[in-house]
Amino acid sequence: MISISKIAESINGKIEGNSDLLIKDICELRGGEQNCISFIAHPNYTNLYIESDAAAVIAGMKIDLPEVSKTVIRVENPSLSFNAVSELFRPNPISEVGIHDSAVISSSATIGENVSIGANVVIENKAIIGENVCIGSNTTIGRNSTVGNNSCIMTNVAVYHDVNIGSNVHIDSGTAIGADGFGLVADKGIHHRISHTGTVEIEDHVAIGSNCCIDRGTINSTRIGKYSKLDNLIQIAHNVVIGKGCIIAGQSGVAGSTVLGNYVTIAGRSGVVGHIEVGDNCVIAATTLVTKSLKAGSFVSGDPAREHLIRKKQEAVINQLPQLLKRVRVLEQELDKIKKD
Protein backbone atom coordinates (compact mmCIF):
# COMPACT_ATOMS: atom_id res chain seq x y z
CA MET A 1 0.00 0.00 0.00
CA ILE A 2 1.20 3.50 -0.86
CA SER A 3 -0.18 6.63 0.80
CA ILE A 4 -2.02 9.14 -1.33
CA SER A 5 0.32 11.81 0.08
CA LYS A 6 3.38 9.99 -1.28
CA ILE A 7 1.67 9.54 -4.66
CA ALA A 8 0.78 13.23 -4.84
CA GLU A 9 4.32 14.22 -3.89
CA SER A 10 5.80 11.98 -6.62
CA ILE A 11 3.78 13.76 -9.33
CA ASN A 12 3.75 17.25 -7.81
CA GLY A 13 -0.02 17.09 -7.33
CA LYS A 14 -2.48 18.78 -4.99
CA ILE A 15 -4.78 16.59 -2.89
CA GLU A 16 -8.52 17.26 -2.55
CA GLY A 17 -10.06 14.92 0.04
CA ASN A 18 -8.62 12.30 2.38
CA SER A 19 -4.86 12.83 2.61
CA ASP A 20 -4.48 9.70 4.82
CA LEU A 21 -5.87 7.34 2.18
CA LEU A 22 -3.83 4.22 1.34
CA ILE A 23 -3.78 2.91 -2.25
CA LYS A 24 -3.04 -0.71 -3.18
CA ASP A 25 -2.93 -0.52 -7.01
CA ILE A 26 -3.94 1.31 -10.18
CA CYS A 27 -7.20 0.64 -12.04
CA GLU A 28 -9.27 1.74 -15.01
CA LEU A 29 -11.82 4.48 -14.46
CA ARG A 30 -14.64 2.38 -15.95
CA GLY A 31 -15.87 0.19 -13.10
CA GLY A 32 -12.77 0.84 -11.00
CA GLU A 33 -11.68 -1.01 -7.87
CA GLN A 34 -11.82 -0.17 -4.18
CA ASN A 35 -8.58 1.15 -2.65
CA CYS A 36 -7.20 1.78 -6.16
CA ILE A 37 -6.38 4.94 -8.11
CA SER A 38 -7.35 5.88 -11.67
CA PHE A 39 -7.30 9.08 -13.75
CA ILE A 40 -9.60 11.32 -15.77
CA ALA A 41 -8.14 13.36 -18.61
CA HIS A 42 -11.30 14.71 -20.26
CA PRO A 43 -14.66 16.01 -18.96
CA ASN A 44 -16.47 13.58 -21.28
CA TYR A 45 -15.67 10.86 -18.75
CA THR A 46 -17.39 12.56 -15.81
CA ASN A 47 -20.15 9.93 -15.70
CA LEU A 48 -17.54 7.17 -15.45
CA TYR A 49 -15.93 9.13 -12.63
CA ILE A 50 -19.23 9.28 -10.73
CA GLU A 51 -19.94 5.56 -11.18
CA SER A 52 -16.39 4.28 -10.63
CA ASP A 53 -15.45 2.33 -7.49
CA ALA A 54 -11.94 3.81 -7.57
CA ALA A 55 -10.98 5.37 -4.24
CA ALA A 56 -8.91 8.12 -5.82
CA VAL A 57 -8.52 9.81 -9.19
CA ILE A 58 -5.80 11.90 -10.81
CA ALA A 59 -7.46 14.80 -12.66
CA GLY A 60 -6.50 17.87 -14.64
CA MET A 61 -6.55 21.28 -12.98
CA LYS A 62 -9.42 22.58 -15.11
CA ILE A 63 -11.73 19.54 -15.10
CA ASP A 64 -14.90 20.34 -13.12
CA LEU A 65 -15.80 17.23 -11.10
CA PRO A 66 -19.00 16.69 -9.09
CA GLU A 67 -18.65 16.11 -5.35
CA VAL A 68 -18.56 12.38 -4.63
CA SER A 69 -16.73 10.28 -2.05
CA LYS A 70 -13.41 10.18 -3.89
CA THR A 71 -10.03 11.72 -3.22
CA VAL A 72 -8.69 13.75 -6.15
CA ILE A 73 -5.10 14.64 -7.00
CA ARG A 74 -4.96 17.71 -9.25
CA VAL A 75 -2.11 17.86 -11.80
CA GLU A 76 -1.30 19.62 -15.07
CA ASN A 77 -1.17 16.45 -17.20
CA PRO A 78 -3.23 13.58 -15.71
CA SER A 79 -2.27 11.03 -18.39
CA LEU A 80 1.45 11.59 -17.90
CA SER A 81 1.10 11.64 -14.12
CA PHE A 82 -0.88 8.40 -14.09
CA ASN A 83 1.85 6.79 -16.17
CA ALA A 84 4.39 7.75 -13.50
CA VAL A 85 2.13 6.41 -10.73
CA SER A 86 1.64 3.11 -12.58
CA GLU A 87 5.40 2.56 -12.41
CA LEU A 88 5.25 2.91 -8.62
CA PHE A 89 2.87 -0.04 -8.39
CA ARG A 90 4.03 -2.11 -11.38
CA PRO A 91 7.78 -1.69 -11.96
CA ASN A 92 9.71 -3.00 -14.96
CA PRO A 93 9.34 -6.82 -14.98
CA ILE A 94 12.96 -7.50 -16.04
CA SER A 95 14.67 -4.98 -13.77
CA GLU A 96 16.17 -7.59 -11.39
CA VAL A 97 19.87 -6.80 -11.18
CA GLY A 98 22.32 -9.53 -12.19
CA ILE A 99 23.97 -11.38 -15.08
CA HIS A 100 22.55 -14.79 -16.04
CA ASP A 101 25.02 -17.67 -16.00
CA SER A 102 24.32 -18.50 -19.65
CA ALA A 103 25.14 -14.98 -20.92
CA VAL A 104 28.21 -14.81 -23.17
CA ILE A 105 30.12 -11.57 -22.59
CA SER A 106 33.39 -10.72 -24.29
CA SER A 107 36.31 -10.00 -21.99
CA SER A 108 36.84 -6.75 -23.91
CA ALA A 109 33.28 -5.54 -23.33
CA THR A 110 32.56 -2.88 -20.70
CA ILE A 111 29.59 -3.53 -18.40
CA GLY A 112 28.20 -0.81 -16.14
CA GLU A 113 26.80 -1.15 -12.64
CA ASN A 114 23.30 -2.36 -11.69
CA VAL A 115 22.67 -4.11 -15.00
CA SER A 116 20.17 -6.89 -15.70
CA ILE A 117 21.40 -9.28 -18.39
CA GLY A 118 19.16 -12.23 -19.23
CA ALA A 119 19.68 -15.81 -20.37
CA ASN A 120 21.64 -16.47 -23.58
CA VAL A 121 22.50 -12.83 -24.12
CA VAL A 122 25.61 -12.29 -26.29
CA ILE A 123 27.71 -9.14 -25.85
CA GLU A 124 30.52 -9.00 -28.38
CA ASN A 125 34.00 -7.45 -28.41
CA LYS A 126 34.43 -3.89 -27.17
CA ALA A 127 30.71 -3.32 -26.69
CA ILE A 128 29.88 -0.80 -23.95
CA ILE A 129 26.85 -1.30 -21.70
CA GLY A 130 25.95 1.63 -19.44
CA GLU A 131 24.60 1.69 -15.90
CA ASN A 132 21.11 0.45 -14.95
CA VAL A 133 20.67 -1.22 -18.34
CA CYS A 134 18.23 -4.12 -18.86
CA ILE A 135 18.92 -6.65 -21.63
CA GLY A 136 16.38 -9.43 -22.16
CA SER A 137 17.13 -13.04 -22.98
CA ASN A 138 18.46 -14.11 -26.40
CA THR A 139 19.49 -10.57 -27.34
CA THR A 140 22.78 -9.85 -29.11
CA ILE A 141 24.80 -6.64 -28.77
CA GLY A 142 27.33 -6.50 -31.62
CA ARG A 143 30.98 -5.52 -31.46
CA ASN A 144 31.81 -1.88 -30.78
CA SER A 145 28.17 -1.07 -30.06
CA THR A 146 27.09 1.13 -27.17
CA VAL A 147 23.98 1.04 -24.98
CA GLY A 148 23.50 4.15 -22.82
CA ASN A 149 22.49 4.40 -19.18
CA ASN A 150 18.97 3.40 -18.07
CA SER A 151 18.09 1.82 -21.41
CA CYS A 152 16.01 -1.35 -21.71
CA ILE A 153 16.39 -3.80 -24.59
CA MET A 154 13.86 -6.61 -24.46
CA THR A 155 14.16 -10.24 -25.58
CA ASN A 156 15.32 -11.47 -29.01
CA VAL A 157 16.65 -8.13 -30.20
CA ALA A 158 19.56 -8.01 -32.67
CA VAL A 159 21.85 -4.99 -32.30
CA TYR A 160 24.49 -5.27 -35.01
CA HIS A 161 28.07 -3.98 -34.83
CA ASP A 162 29.01 -0.30 -34.33
CA VAL A 163 25.50 0.79 -33.35
CA ASN A 164 25.10 3.62 -30.83
CA ILE A 165 22.04 3.52 -28.57
CA GLY A 166 21.52 6.46 -26.22
CA SER A 167 20.28 6.72 -22.66
CA ASN A 168 16.71 5.98 -21.51
CA VAL A 169 15.96 4.10 -24.73
CA HIS A 170 13.39 1.27 -24.85
CA ILE A 171 13.49 -1.38 -27.60
CA ASP A 172 10.89 -4.15 -27.72
CA SER A 173 11.25 -7.78 -28.76
CA GLY A 174 12.19 -8.96 -32.22
CA THR A 175 13.65 -5.69 -33.50
CA ALA A 176 16.81 -5.63 -35.64
CA ILE A 177 19.05 -2.56 -35.60
CA GLY A 178 22.00 -2.09 -37.90
CA ALA A 179 21.49 -4.63 -40.70
CA ASP A 180 22.63 -3.66 -44.19
CA GLY A 181 20.12 -1.59 -46.15
CA PHE A 182 18.46 -2.66 -49.38
CA GLY A 183 21.07 -1.09 -51.64
CA LEU A 184 21.76 -2.72 -55.00
CA VAL A 185 23.83 -1.92 -58.08
CA ALA A 186 23.15 -3.61 -61.43
CA ASP A 187 25.88 -4.85 -63.75
CA LYS A 188 25.29 -7.03 -66.82
CA GLY A 189 21.87 -8.13 -65.63
CA ILE A 190 23.00 -9.05 -62.12
CA HIS A 191 22.11 -7.09 -58.98
CA HIS A 192 24.95 -6.80 -56.48
CA ARG A 193 24.50 -5.79 -52.83
CA ILE A 194 26.13 -2.52 -51.82
CA SER A 195 28.40 -2.67 -48.79
CA HIS A 196 27.09 -0.61 -45.88
CA THR A 197 29.91 0.83 -43.77
CA GLY A 198 27.84 3.39 -41.85
CA THR A 199 26.00 2.87 -38.60
CA VAL A 200 22.78 3.59 -36.67
CA GLU A 201 22.50 6.37 -34.08
CA ILE A 202 19.54 6.14 -31.70
CA GLU A 203 19.39 9.21 -29.52
CA ASP A 204 18.19 9.53 -25.91
CA HIS A 205 14.61 8.78 -24.79
CA VAL A 206 13.65 6.94 -27.99
CA ALA A 207 11.12 4.07 -27.87
CA ILE A 208 11.03 1.39 -30.59
CA GLY A 209 8.31 -1.27 -30.78
CA SER A 210 8.45 -4.96 -31.64
CA ASN A 211 9.64 -6.39 -34.96
CA CYS A 212 11.01 -3.16 -36.39
CA CYS A 213 13.95 -2.99 -38.80
CA ILE A 214 16.32 -0.02 -38.74
CA ASP A 215 19.02 -0.37 -41.39
CA ARG A 216 22.50 1.09 -41.09
CA GLY A 217 23.72 3.93 -43.28
CA THR A 218 25.64 3.29 -46.47
CA ILE A 219 28.52 5.57 -45.45
CA ASN A 220 27.21 7.78 -42.65
CA SER A 221 24.47 7.12 -40.09
CA THR A 222 20.81 6.28 -40.04
CA ARG A 223 19.56 8.43 -37.15
CA ILE A 224 16.52 8.39 -34.85
CA GLY A 225 16.16 11.71 -33.01
CA LYS A 226 15.64 12.05 -29.28
CA TYR A 227 12.16 11.52 -27.83
CA SER A 228 10.90 9.89 -31.04
CA LYS A 229 8.51 6.93 -30.66
CA LEU A 230 8.16 4.08 -33.15
CA ASP A 231 5.30 1.57 -33.05
CA ASN A 232 5.57 -2.13 -33.99
CA LEU A 233 6.38 -3.38 -37.50
CA ILE A 234 8.16 -0.34 -38.88
CA GLN A 235 10.87 -0.23 -41.58
CA ILE A 236 13.44 2.57 -41.46
CA ALA A 237 15.75 2.27 -44.47
CA HIS A 238 19.42 3.17 -44.85
CA ASN A 239 20.54 6.79 -44.46
CA VAL A 240 17.16 7.97 -43.09
CA VAL A 241 17.33 10.83 -40.60
CA ILE A 242 14.40 11.22 -38.20
CA GLY A 243 14.19 14.40 -36.16
CA LYS A 244 13.26 15.06 -32.56
CA GLY A 245 9.90 13.97 -31.11
CA CYS A 246 8.56 12.14 -34.18
CA ILE A 247 5.77 9.54 -33.90
CA ILE A 248 5.47 6.69 -36.42
CA ALA A 249 2.57 4.24 -36.16
CA GLY A 250 2.58 0.54 -37.06
CA GLN A 251 3.18 -0.97 -40.51
CA SER A 252 4.71 2.23 -41.83
CA GLY A 253 7.95 2.59 -43.74
CA VAL A 254 10.41 5.32 -44.63
CA ALA A 255 12.55 4.65 -47.69
CA GLY A 256 16.27 5.36 -48.01
CA SER A 257 17.92 8.76 -47.57
CA THR A 258 14.71 10.56 -46.62
CA VAL A 259 14.86 13.23 -43.91
CA LEU A 260 12.01 13.77 -41.45
CA GLY A 261 12.01 17.04 -39.53
CA ASN A 262 11.10 17.47 -35.88
CA TYR A 263 7.72 16.41 -34.47
CA VAL A 264 6.50 14.67 -37.61
CA THR A 265 3.55 12.29 -37.15
CA ILE A 266 3.08 9.32 -39.50
CA ALA A 267 -0.12 7.32 -38.97
CA GLY A 268 -0.46 3.58 -39.56
CA ARG A 269 0.21 1.74 -42.85
CA SER A 270 1.77 4.80 -44.47
CA GLY A 271 4.82 5.00 -46.71
CA VAL A 272 7.33 7.71 -47.49
CA VAL A 273 9.45 7.31 -50.64
CA GLY A 274 13.20 7.82 -50.63
CA HIS A 275 15.35 10.92 -51.15
CA ILE A 276 12.78 13.50 -50.05
CA GLU A 277 12.38 15.85 -47.09
CA VAL A 278 9.39 16.09 -44.75
CA GLY A 279 9.31 19.37 -42.84
CA ASP A 280 8.79 19.97 -39.14
CA ASN A 281 5.35 19.31 -37.61
CA CYS A 282 3.95 17.53 -40.67
CA VAL A 283 1.07 15.09 -40.18
CA ILE A 284 0.72 12.12 -42.54
CA ALA A 285 -2.67 10.41 -42.23
CA ALA A 286 -3.17 6.63 -42.19
CA THR A 287 -2.61 4.64 -45.42
CA THR A 288 -0.96 7.62 -47.12
CA LEU A 289 1.82 7.38 -49.72
CA VAL A 290 4.11 10.41 -49.69
CA THR A 291 5.88 10.73 -53.05
CA LYS A 292 7.42 14.21 -52.85
CA SER A 293 8.84 16.58 -50.26
CA LEU A 294 6.46 18.31 -47.84
CA LYS A 295 6.82 21.80 -46.44
CA ALA A 296 6.68 22.30 -42.68
CA GLY A 297 3.23 22.00 -41.10
CA SER A 298 1.62 20.06 -43.96
CA PHE A 299 -1.30 17.72 -43.26
CA VAL A 300 -1.59 15.18 -46.06
CA SER A 301 -3.58 12.05 -46.83
CA GLY A 302 -4.31 9.65 -49.67
CA ASP A 303 -2.37 7.86 -52.41
CA PRO A 304 -0.58 9.83 -53.65
CA ALA A 305 -0.46 12.25 -50.75
CA ARG A 306 -2.30 15.54 -51.16
CA GLU A 307 -3.23 18.32 -48.76
CA HIS A 308 -5.94 16.76 -46.62
CA LEU A 309 -8.54 19.54 -46.87
CA ILE A 310 -8.10 19.84 -50.64
CA ARG A 311 -8.45 16.08 -51.04
CA LYS A 312 -11.63 16.04 -48.95
CA LYS A 313 -13.16 18.77 -51.12
CA GLN A 314 -12.19 16.88 -54.26
CA GLU A 315 -13.75 13.70 -52.91
CA ALA A 316 -16.94 15.59 -52.09
CA VAL A 317 -17.16 16.68 -55.74
CA ILE A 318 -16.41 13.16 -56.99
CA ASN A 319 -19.15 11.75 -54.77
CA GLN A 320 -21.63 14.05 -56.54
CA LEU A 321 -20.72 12.76 -60.00
CA PRO A 322 -23.35 9.95 -60.16
CA GLN A 323 -26.13 12.44 -59.41
CA LEU A 324 -24.68 14.94 -61.88
CA LEU A 325 -24.55 12.20 -64.53
CA LYS A 326 -28.26 11.47 -64.00
CA ARG A 327 -29.08 15.16 -64.44
CA VAL A 328 -27.02 15.32 -67.64
CA ARG A 329 -28.86 12.32 -69.07
CA VAL A 330 -32.21 13.91 -68.27
CA LEU A 331 -31.11 17.12 -69.99
CA GLU A 332 -29.91 15.15 -73.02
CA GLN A 333 -33.31 13.42 -73.28
CA GLU A 334 -35.12 16.76 -73.06
CA LEU A 335 -32.79 18.20 -75.72
CA ASP A 336 -33.51 15.25 -78.03
CA LYS A 337 -37.25 15.89 -77.66
CA ILE A 338 -36.78 19.57 -78.57
CA LYS A 339 -34.78 18.62 -81.64
CA LYS A 340 -37.46 16.18 -82.78
CA ASP A 341 -40.18 18.80 -82.38
pLDDT value at residue 95? 60
Taking residues 286-300, what's their average pLDDT?
98
Assess whether pLDDT exceeds 90 at residue 101.
yes
Assess whether pLDDT exceeds 90 at residue 298.
yes
Please, are residues 14 and 7 in contact by the beta-carbon 8 Å criterion? no
Q: Report the chain's C-alpha Rg in angstroms.
A: 27
If residue 254 lies in a helix (H) or strand (E), which one and from where to where? strand 253-254
Q: Which range among 94-98, 136-140, 306-310 shows the weakest confidence by mean pLDDT?
A: 94-98
Q: Which of 219, 301, 289 is nearest to 254 (CA)?
A: 289
User: Whole-angstrom Cα distance, residue 325 to residue 341?
Assistant: 25
Query: Which sequence positions are flagged as catalytic?
Result: 238
pLDDT value at residue 316? 86
Where along the chain do the CATH 2.160.10.10 domains lie? 98-309
User: Whole-angstrom Cα distance, residue 14 to residue 3?
Assistant: 14
The residue among 130 and 329 whose pLDDT is bigger is 130
Q: pLDDT of 303-340, one tens digit each?
A: 999 999 888 888 888 898 899 888 889 888 888 888 87
pLDDT value at residue 68? 87
Taking residues 218-240, what's their average pLDDT?
98
String of DSSP letters for 131-190:
TT-EE-TT-EE-TT-EE-TT-EE-TT-EE-TT-EE-TT-EE-TT-EES-----EEEETTE
When the pLDDT of each residue in the chain is averaged and rounded to a whole number, the result is: 95
pLDDT value at residue 92? 67
Where along the chain do the CATH 3.40.1390.10 domains lie? 2-89
The CATH class of the 2-89 domain is alpha beta
Assess whether pLDDT exceeds 70 at residue 110.
yes
What CATH number was assigned to the domain covering residues 98-309? Answer: 2.160.10.10
The percentage of residues in the chain with a pLDDT greater than 90, rounded to a whole number, is 87
Assess whether pLDDT exceeds 70 at residue 93.
no
Please, are residues 270 and 287 in contact by the beta-carbon 8 Å criterion? yes
| Strand bridging mode 140-141 / 152-153 | unpaired
* pTM for this prediction: 0.86
pLDDT value at residue 338? 84
| Main-chain phi, psi angles of 51, to 5 degrees | -85, -15
pLDDT value at residue 311? 87
Q: Which of 38, 37, 39, 33 is nearest to 3 (CA)?
A: 37
Taking residues 182-189, what's their average pLDDT?
94
Assess whether pLDDT exceeds 80 at residue 96.
no
Q: Which of 309, 300, 302 is nearest to 281 (CA)?
A: 300
